Copies of this chain bind each other. A is one copy, B any other.
């Protein structure tokens, strides 16, 4: 297990390590060894489901869904305290998919957690479905509709501020794309979260180094990315976004509601797990023909066999 790199001095006093524990109390599977195997398997299942949704009428955002798959799986399987049978449970954790185009990954995560029947995933993008290309608020488990980049972190600031004010125990998590960080609204939110010491808000950056038109560093360089967040007052944890243990460790190291907020920069691979798509800008949005789907799935399964 690799541990996350703590890149700023941390207010250890303010930290509470209870996150994973709490999640467990709201989960059926409590045995940690089982949980670990299950989580990796869930991530694999999520990837298959993403590819399946990519066969929908207009395809889906395959690359950025696959890069988020591991971290979303850890979040939904082990971290987030949620009650699928009571989606509005006041003490739940709030998750906001600011990179709303990765909706396929979110739907898979929600279904794994029991918010949606797995069969419903087949309706992705079809007429009359609840599973739009970007998440709709009326879907249980979705806090806010997203899809226009750069909205999520402000929503998270408001949410975390309200949770602190009302004394509820839930945390707020916001997942953003790296290209998304080019939106100025992200930095407004970042500045205010740090100023307000919203330790209950955690940002996660899916650092897959690709935006639609190519390599972020060629298109609109984001480096030094940790430096940007630090200069905006955040504590930065840089982790391998496909290392489940590293992700777990990061999520276990979050501050309390008045601590310095943490951003987890998850180094990821766009299209992760599917050799056809890995690190390919074309993987951003793909409509998988039956043939392409077959090849992609075969590649995904071969890779996973090789790794286990």
A residues at B contact (CB < 8 Å) = 182-188, 191-192, 194-195, 220-222, 224, 227-228, 230-233
Shortest beta-carbon distance, A259 to chain B, in Å?
16
A187, B183: Cα distance in complex, Å: 8
Taking each of A184, A188, A194, A228, which has the highest tally of chain B beta carbons within 10 Å of its own beta carbon?
Answer: A184
A-B contact pairs, 16 of them (CB 8 A): A182-B188, A182-B191, A184-B184, A184-B185, A184-B186, A184-B187, A187-B187, A192-B220, A194-B221, A195-B221, A221-B233, A224-B231, A227-B227, A228-B232, A230-B231, A231-B231
Q: Which residues of B contact A185 (CB under 8 A)?
A: 184
A221, B192: Cα distance in complex, Å: 8
A222, B190: Cα distance in complex, Å: 11
Main secondary structure of the interface of A (DSSP, over half): helix
**Interface contact A220-B232, CB-CB below 8 Å:** no
Q: Which residue of B lies closest to A227 (CB)?
A: B231
A220, B233: Cα distance in complex, Å: 11
Shortest beta-carbon distance, A229 to chain B, in Å?
8
Q: Which residue of B lies closest to A150 (CB)?
A: B184
A184, B192: Cα distance in complex, Å: 11
A186, B222: Cα distance in complex, Å: 15
Q: Which residues of B contact A222 (CB under 8 A)?
A: 191
Q: Which residues of B contact A233 (CB under 8 A)?
A: 221
Q: Which residues of B contact A231 (CB under 8 A)?
A: 224, 227-228, 230-231
Q: Which residue of B lies closest to A194 (CB)?
A: B221
**Interface contact A184-B182, CB-CB below 8 Å:** no
Q: Which residues of B contact A232 (CB under 8 A)?
A: 228
- The 10 A-B pairs with the shortest beta carbon distances in the complex, nearest first, are A184-B184, A227-B231, A184-B188, A187-B187, A228-B231, A231-B231, A184-B185, A184-B187, A195-B221, A195-B220
Q: Which residue of B lies closest to A228 (CB)?
A: B231
Shortest beta-carbon distance, A48 to chain B, in Å?
37
A182, B193: Cα distance in complex, Å: 12
Q: Which residues of B contact A194 (CB under 8 A)?
A: 221
Shortest beta-carbon distance, A221 to chain B, in Å?
5
Shortest beta-carbon distance, A150 to chain B, in Å?
8
Shortest beta-carbon distance, A147 to chain B, in Å?
19
A224, B233: Cα distance in complex, Å: 8
Q: Which residues of B contact A186 (CB under 8 A)?
A: 184
Q: Which residues of B contact A191 (CB under 8 A)?
A: 182, 220-222
Shortest beta-carbon distance, A210 to chain B, in Å?
16
A61, B230: Cα distance in complex, Å: 33
Q: Which residues of B contact A184 (CB under 8 A)?
A: 183-188
